[in-house]
Amino acid sequence: MKIGTPKEIFEGERRVAMTPESAAALQKLGHECVVETGAGAEAGFADGDYKAAGVEVVKTAAALWKAADVVAKVRVPDATEMKRLREDQTLISFFSPVADEDKMQAAAKKGATVIAMEMIPRISRAQKMDALSSMANIAGYRAVIEAGNNFGRFFTGQITAAGKVPPAKVLVVGAGVAGLAAIGTSTSLGAITYAFDVRPEVAEQVESMGAEFVYLDFEEEQQDGASSGGYASVSSPEFREAQLAKFRELAPEMDIVITTALIPNREAPELWTEDMVKAMKPGSVIVDLAAEKGGNCKLTVADEKIVTDNGVTIIGYTDFPSRMATQSSSLYATNIRHLMADLTPEKDGVINHDMEDDVIRGATIAHAQEVTFPPPPPKVAAIAAAPKKDAPKELTAEEKKAKELADFKAQTKQQVTLLAIGGALVLLAGLYTPASFMQHFIVFVLSVFIGFQVIWGVAHSLHTPLMAVTNAISSIVILGALIQIGSSSGVITFLSIFAVFMAAINIFGGFLVTRRMLAMFQKS
């Protein structure tokens, strides 16, 4: 089949849904590729690059829509593109099925198949196709860059001959994909970074990236804040009030606020109110990644950058991924390529639109002249927090003593049983083997026992005892080799010297690797 990518006609859109690299991968699936001339120019991909990758370049969008069996694009198709959509043609793009229900109905009526990239289910197997996460990752990174471009100071603190520069304080509201990308970028630039999310289980992720998680003294926060689709769920009014109170407390201290809270197919919740903006210092910056859905900040204006009366800059751009078109196009094209791999399981260039497949069914909003949105819940559970286990019951002093005694008795019984079995096996072997063999065998058994106790008694510096154990084994090898090195046999002497050499390499190498691994966890 022919997979075609037209030039995006949405104003300001610079991304493209097919790159020369992804086209090469699609051709390995048995498909032919075609692009409209200039489709990738603004993302840094020239027509010549496509031709070198074996892609056919056509002059007009009309010719492309006519030639392609599958059309892959970025933005929601406009009225002209919907007219060009024909029966048995497959369209893959962002689509907004809730906001564009008429277009979805029109596509179904024509007999076309529409796959909405934002509807890819959030299950483990579909992560490689999750375009929302790919674009959110870029948006989070770019949000920090835009904030830095509009912020009048360094992110990192400095002490210079000209004076002391305090580090910037950054608050990231929402620790999803975009939020974590913003946190990583902010901390790497040296800012003191704070993060908040309604899902307390993400606190460990936030703290592992060097940021401080903002906790609320509120009971609901201890509950599971994740919805079945892997997104944050809607909070209660009481929780929202506690949340806003915390933000009002933080507002005067923050230099940069990046809001990322958004649930698909819903209006963005208002989290940063007008009084919070007024409480911020002059020169502060707010970057609202939810501007396309109304914004998390009360004063956000979509696609604009404004400065308030008290000198706070509010950025409401809705095209952050497009501002990094080359990177965005590469990731988005890879998402589509993985989706096509699932649609072409035989790699024969023939699409098998399996509606029993969780991923394909979940993303399909129109198929076989029917509207298939909304999809049923996936059979595989979505990415969400693991259910919390009940806290273990606190034992009394008497119960603890009874438990320790029972454990000791069970351990003793196990050891006695093993010793009895071992003794029986030794006696059995003594009945049928020469006396000289038994002497060597008993020495061997005792050596194994002593060696085991010595090796496992070695204290280790890392969380894993692997390096310490291998070093201990190598030390025992060296001791044994030194005992044999004075043998009258030249072969034994050579093997002993070789054993000492190899074990020494392992020991010194183990210490070197251990030091390097420990250095990874030490702050400079």
Which residues are known to be catalytic?
A: 122, 127, 130, 133, 231
- Residue 215 and residue 200 in contact, taking contact as beta carbons nearer than 8 Å: yes
Cα separation, 211 vs 214, in Å, equals 10
Residue 35 pairs in a beta bridge with 5, 57
Cα separation, 289 vs 168, in Å, equals 20
- Residue 133 and residue 177 in contact, taking contact as beta carbons nearer than 8 Å: yes
Collect all residues with Cβ–Cβ distance below 8 Å to 297 and sequence separation of at least 6. Answer: 257, 259, 270, 271, 272, 277, 286, 288, 314, 316
Task: Map tokens 């909070």 to a residue.
Answer: 235
Give the 3-state DSSP-derived string for 310-327, with helices as H, strands as E and coil as C.
Answer: CCCEEECCCCCHHHHHHH
Rounded CA Rg of the chain = 32
Q: Apex CA 143: angle with CA 141 and CA 148, to 5°?
A: 100
Cα separation, 253 vs 212, in Å, equals 14
Choose among 191, 235, 197, 190: nearest CA to 216.
197
Choose among 63, 57, 53: nearest CA to 38.
57
Task: Map tokens 């154990």 to a residue.
Answer: 469
User: Per the structure block, which two tokens stand in for 230?
Assistant: 């892997």
